[in-house]
Amino acid sequence: MTATRIDGKAHAARLRARIAEQVAELKQAHDLVPGLAVVLVGEDPASQVYVASKGKQTVEAGMKSFEHRLPADATQAELLALIGRLNADAEVHGILVQLPLPGHINESEVINAIAVKKDVDGFTVANSGRLATGQRAMVPCTPLGCLMLLRDQMGDLSGKEAVVIGRSNIVGKPMASLLLGDNATVTVAHSRTKDLPEVVRRADIVVAAVGRPEMVKGDWLKPGAVVIDVGINRTEAGLVGDVDYASAVEIAAAVTPVPGGVGPMTIACLLANTLTACCRANDLPDPAGLTG
Ligand SMILES: Nc1nc(=O)c2c([nH]1)NC[C@@H]1CN(c3ccc(C(=O)N[C@@H](CCC(=O)O)C(=O)O)cc3)C=[N+]21
Domain segments of the chain: what residues? 30-121, 141-263
Measured in angstroms, how far is the CA atom of residue 29 from the centroid of ligand 1?
33
Say if pTM beats, i.e. exceeds, 0.90.
Answer: yes
In the chain, the amino acid numbered 69 is R
Query: Residue 38 in 3-state DSSP?
Result: strand
Query: How far apart, in whole angstroms, are the C-alpha atoms of residue 43 and residue 80?
Result: 19
Residues belonging to the binding site for NADP(+) are: 166-168, 232
> ipTM of this complex > 0.90?
yes
10 Å Cβ neighbour count for 24? 12
52 lines ligand 1 (CB under 6 A): no
Could you tell me if 127 and 138 are in contact, meaning their C-beta atoms sit under 8 angstroms apart?
Answer: yes
The three-class DSSP label of residue 157 is coil
pLDDT of residue 32: 98
Q: How far is the CA of 152 from the centre of ligand 1 (A)?
A: 22
The span from the CA of 124 to the CA of 114, in Å, is 7
User: Quick one: pLDDT at residue 196?
Assistant: 98
Read off φ and ψ for residue 250, nearest 5 degrees: -75, -20
Q: Which atom of ligand 1 is nearest to the CA of 46?
A: 26
Q: How far is residue 154's CA from residue 43's CA, in Å, rounded to a whole number?
A: 40
Q: Considering only CA atoms, which residue is closest to atom 24 of ligand 1?
A: 259
Return the residue whose CA atom lies nearest to atom 14 of ligand 1. Answer: 263
Catalytic residue among 54, 117, 160, 173: 54
Active site residue 222: no
User: Which option is the CATH number for 30-121: 3.40.50.2020, 3.40.50.10860, 3.80.30.20, 3.30.470.20?
Assistant: 3.40.50.10860
Ligand 1 center to residue 155 CA distance, Å? 26
Tell me which fold the domain 141-263 belongs to.
Answer: Rossmann fold (3.40.50)
Angle in degrees, 0-180, between the axes of helices 45-60 and 8-30, rounded to the nearest 10:
50
Strands (E), the chain: 4-5, 35-41, 64-70, 94-97, 161-165, 185-189, 205-208, 226-229, 233-235, 238-240, 254-255
One-letter amino acid of 291: T
The reply to whether ligand 1 has any atom less than 6 angstroms from the CB of 232 is yes
121 is catalytic: yes
Options 22, 118, 119, 121, the catalytic residue: 121
Residue 132: CB atoms within 10 Å: 14
Q: Would the CATH topology of 30-121 be identical to that of 141-263?
A: yes
**Catalytic entry in 57, 98, 160, 173:** 98
pLDDT attached to residue 203: 98
Task: Provide the residue-wise pLDDT of the chain in tens; the chain has 292 residues.
Answer: 799 999 999 999 999 999 999 999 999 999 999 999 999 999 888 888 889 999 999 999 999 999 999 999 999 999 999 999 999 999 999 999 999 999 999 999 999 999 999 999 999 999 999 999 999 999 999 999 999 999 999 999 999 999 999 999 999 999 999 999 999 999 999 999 999 999 999 999 999 999 999 999 999 999 999 999 999 999 999 999 999 999 999 999 999 999 999 999 999 999 999 999 999 999 999 999 999 8
Helix (H) / strand (E) containing 255? strand 254-255
Active site residue 54: yes
Alpha-carbon distance values, 26 to 23, 37, 51, 55, 181 (Å) = 5, 19, 25, 20, 29
pLDDT at 173: 98
* pLDDT value, residue 267: 97
Ligand 1 centroid – CA 271 distance (Å): 13
- CB burial string 25-59: b at 16+ within 10 A, e below: ebeeeeebebbbbbbbbbeeeeeeebbeebeebbe
pLDDT at site 121: 98
CA distance linking residue 175 with residue 150, whole number of Å:
11
